[in-house]
């Protein structure tokens, strides 16, 4: 284990060896999904499958009869063949339980189904939903062309090099080649052990799976780059977990999520082979990335191509973190293995959304001692993570140290430019916006524990054309909108807010008349009415664990139109957590999943 500074630009060296013969692995992996005569069903069966990742990149050499679920160190390979273990087959092995009944599909995204070229209409048919569930848990064969594998990668966890990590409970089924040649990799999270499971069981529980499914689709609706979710499935088997690592484990319902991304390549995909001196693999991943996912740079000469790719990763990452800042999203586990090279929100674990504004907010109990991954640190952590990946590129001679420094050094200004541009929209200011007015607002929000999203949403209700200057009248939109609680405001703080609002009104009045006419609508388009708050998710989880999925479906429908006030939806869905729910296990979570 070692800590690395942002500009150390060093990784552990090693001796590169020739690549193993790996093509036979694909045949072995295909064989595992075609032994059964049952049909996979229409949802997955209509997809045009490809296997470019395993076809073009070196994988682990598997022997006939080898136990693919045995944890092991994997070298000179970017993936290992994998198999979905049907629920109950691993019962009695530590924390995996018996299958109580067959799997069932809880929730599906028709939008994602259409995106990947699946038969979305068939999702209305209960028999097809059952077939989909059975495919995703491993009790029904996958369609021809699907080649399941687990990716090999490493990463820094909480600032320390962790070595080999890999897909410990995620198995990629393959790639769909959809319209216009767009590629999407379908991956199942929680289907059993892989080569990278280490001491874990490779399973996922219902609570974490609900959280991943819903937030994946919610973030997409918010316009924030993210991986997507096709389906949420209750496996019918229980899994034992110690939620708070308190020595009190309990059985929980098991589940899987079928999640989707153009690629699951992470910063850590480059880091692990570089740390071992397997520098050819670093280049192979970069070349694969540019061939399929950054085609605009494919024909550039070497001395320009990889620099352009790194610049793009920096830009996408900055844009991603601005999106998080916009809605108060806090990832919770921003390790380098949880960072996507495409700038997507990746791996939804103990995340949370800022409610009572506090830049030091962290939803992850594991992060509490140092708050490394708190809300306010995310921009800097993203920069640190980019630098770690850039080290691997330098070591593999994809670009020079000077080029890497230039790319990474561009991040702070790029982030600030994107940030100010976005927050000007959130404040409904154009030519009169300044970082100072935002700083003044957030300072007040922190002092009085203002609700983060409700504050920005409420400012659109603030009538900047009115001449009212009386304190209570000025504050009323913020009180009505749930931004401020009267019990948390003394007279001095009320005066501070009134002073700020008068200043804000004066700035807004200087904008063009045409801009002011559409000000409220423009602000509502970037300030969500609804975000998935942890207490709402926990209520849905509590119901689901009793077999009632109605609240899951309600949140799924709600989060697809986050910027619109939806008729018939109670006010509590747009408000901060009640005081009784602000506790560990609800608004704060562990990494247990």
Catalytic sites, residue numbers:
337
Q: Which helix (H) or strand (E) holds 539?
A: helix 534-544
DSSP assignment string, 39-64: ---HHHHTS-EE-HHHHHS----PPT
Cβ(156)–Cβ(102) under 8 Å? no
d(CA 87, CA 202): 11
Cβ(229)–Cβ(348) under 8 Å? no
Q: Which of 486, 482, 577 is nearest to 529 (CA)?
A: 482
d(CA 388, CA 368): 23
Per-residue DSSP letter, 588: B
* Residues forming a β-bridge with 69: none
d(CA 360, CA 371): 7
- How many Cβ atoms are within 10 Å of 3's Cβ, its own excluded? 10
Cβ(523)–Cβ(460) under 8 Å? yes
* Residues forming a β-bridge with 243: none
Rounded to 5 degrees, what are φ and ψ at 38? -65, 150
HEC assignment per residue over 317-369: HHHHHHHHHHHCEECCCCCHHHCECCCCECCCCCCEECCECCCCCCCEHHHCC
Token code pair at residue 60: 């682990």
- How many Cβ atoms are within 10 Å of 570's Cβ, its own excluded? 7
Rounded to 5 degrees, what are φ and ψ at 576? -60, 165
Q: Which helix (H) or strand (E) holds 207?
A: helix 206-221
d(CA 361, CA 583): 13
Q: How many angstroms from the chain centroid is the CA of residue 179?
A: 24
d(CA 527, CA 565): 12
């Amino acid at each position: 284990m070692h800590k690395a500074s942002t500009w150390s630009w060093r990784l552990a060296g090693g001796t590169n060896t020739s690549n193993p013969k790996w093509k036979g692995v694909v045949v072995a992996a295909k064989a595992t999904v075609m032994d059964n005569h049952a049909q996979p069903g229409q949802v997955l069966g209509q997809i045009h499958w490809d296997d470019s990742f395993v076809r073009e990149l070196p994988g682990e050499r598997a022997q006939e009869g080898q136990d693919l679920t045995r944890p092991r160190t994997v070298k000179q390979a970017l993936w290992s063949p994998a198999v979905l273990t049907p629920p109950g087959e691993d019962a009695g092995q530590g924390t995996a339980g018996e299958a109580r009944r067959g799997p069932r599909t809880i929730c599906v995204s028709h939008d994602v189904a259409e995106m990947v070229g699946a038969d979305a209409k068939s999702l209305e048919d209960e028999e097809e939903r059952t077939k989909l569930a059975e495919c995703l848990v491993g009790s029904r064969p996958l369609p021809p062309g699907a080649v399941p594998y687990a990716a090999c990668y490493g990463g820094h966890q909480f600032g320390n090099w962790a070595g080999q990590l890999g897909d410990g409970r995620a198995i990629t089924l393959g790639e769909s080649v959809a319209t216009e040649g767009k590629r999407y990799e379908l991956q199942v999270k929680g289907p059993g052990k892989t080569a990278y499971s280490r001491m874990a069981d490779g399973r996922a529980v219902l609570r974490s799976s609900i959280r991943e499914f819903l937030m994946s689709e919610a973030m997409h609706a918010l316009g924030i780059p993210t991986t997507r979710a096709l389906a949420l499935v209750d496996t019918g088997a229980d899994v034992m977990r110690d939620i708070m690592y308190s020595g009190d484990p309990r059985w929980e319902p098991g589940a899987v999520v079928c999640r989707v991304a153009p690629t699951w390549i992470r910063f850590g995909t480059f880091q692990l082979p570089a740390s071992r001196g397997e520098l050819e693999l670093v280049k192979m991943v970069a070349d694969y990335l540019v061939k399929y996912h950054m085609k605009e740079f494919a024909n550039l000469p070497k001395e320009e191509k990889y620099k352009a790719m790194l610049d793009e990763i920096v830009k996408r990452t900055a844009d991603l973190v601005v999106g998080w800042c916009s809605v108060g999203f806090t990832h919770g586990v921003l390790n380098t293995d949880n960072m996507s090279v495409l700038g997507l929100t990746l791996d939804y674990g103990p995340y949370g959304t800022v409610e009572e504004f506090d830049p030091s907010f962290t939803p992850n109990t594991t992060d509490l001692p140092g708050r490394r991954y708190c809300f306010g640190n995310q921009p800097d952590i993203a920069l640190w993570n980019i630098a770690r990946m850039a080290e691997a590129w330098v070591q593999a001679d994809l670009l020079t140290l000077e080029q890497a420094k230039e790319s990474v050094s561009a991040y702070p200004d790029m982030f600030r430019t994107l940030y100010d541009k976005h927050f000007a929209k959130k404040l409904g200011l154009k030519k009169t916006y300044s970082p100072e007015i935002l700083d003044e607002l957030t300072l007040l929000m922190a002092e009085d524990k203002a609700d983060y999203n409700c504050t920005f949403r409420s400012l659109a209700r603030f009538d900047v054309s009115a001449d009212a200057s009386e304190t209570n009248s000025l504050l009323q939109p913020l009180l009505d909108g749930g931004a401020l609680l009267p019990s948390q405001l003394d007279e001095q703080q009320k005066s501070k807010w009134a002073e700020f609002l008068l200043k804000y009104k004066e700035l807004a009045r200087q904008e063009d008349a045409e801009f002011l006419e559409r000000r409220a609508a423009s602000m509502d388009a970037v300030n969500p009415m609804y975000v998935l708050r942890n207490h709402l998710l926990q209520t849905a989880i509590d119901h689901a664990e009793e077999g009632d999925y109605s609240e899951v479906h309600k949140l799924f429908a709600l989060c697809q139109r986050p910027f619109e006030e939806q008729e018939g939806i109670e006010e509590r869905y747009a408000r901060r957590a009640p005081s009784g729910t602000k506790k560990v296990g609800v608004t704060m979570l562990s990494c247990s999943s």
